[in-house]
Amino acid sequence: MASFELARFKQLPLIAILRAQRLEDIPAIVGALAQGGFYTIEVTMNSPAAVEQIRTAITSGSDQLSIGAGTVTTLEELDAAHQAGASFIVTPIVVPEIITECARRGIPIFPGAFTPSEIHTAHRLGATMVKLFPAHRLGPGYIRDIKAPLSSIPILATGGITPENIAEYAQAGAEGFGIGSPLLSREHIAAQDWHWLRDRAAQFCSAWSSAHN
């Protein structure tokens, strides 16, 4: 497993969010995402057997993949994820003690925030990037408004990101994207349609490249 490197992430700033997947499907999901071009994957801590899922994702993925833990809301979950090998941490909300502890340990941290005050607080506490969640509730225009006074704070837009709208979010100022259900279709995963997942991942990577260039 590759450690999380911000410079590398900026080249393809897409995080695939694995939530409530079956443990036995993790190797195939990780493989399809990697074949489609993703190299940053998050396993949420509210998934069944989350710690084992993180370990499985790490052992089943290539050396190029960076596997992190999401939906971390307590220091106990942070410890469990870190011990399992997670190379970065994502939270759904601003939890000051998690942000500062990650900063102390040198673990990249993407705390979730929504209001300007939350975004600024998360950044001030040491966030690597601030996850704007749920981004689709107010859309790209909200990011554009936020970035006007807070232009130095890197934003990871999460929630409702698709290949069709990623360019609009990027143009509004989002530097990265967390992608869950629009990528990891429950229907296709239940059918074990790994070719579809590979192709869907490739669509996101292509959409980012087109928006970025």
Phi, psi (deg, nearest 5) at residue 102: -65, -45
168 catalytic? Reply is no
The Cα–Cα gap between 34 and 28 comes to 10
Which residues are CB-neighbours of 143 under 8 A, at least 6 positions away?
Answer: 132, 135, 155, 157, 169, 172, 173, 174
- Whether 147 is catalytic: no
Helix (H, G, I), strand (E, B) or coil at 46: coil
| Catalytic-role residue among 42, 77, 101, 147 | 42
C-alpha–C-alpha distance, residues 154 and 143, integer Å: 11
Residue tagged active-site, from 77, 101, 131, 147: 131
Token pair 């052992």 is found at: 59
How far apart are the C-alpha atoms of 178 and 189, rounded to whole Å?
19
Residues labelled catalytic: 42, 131
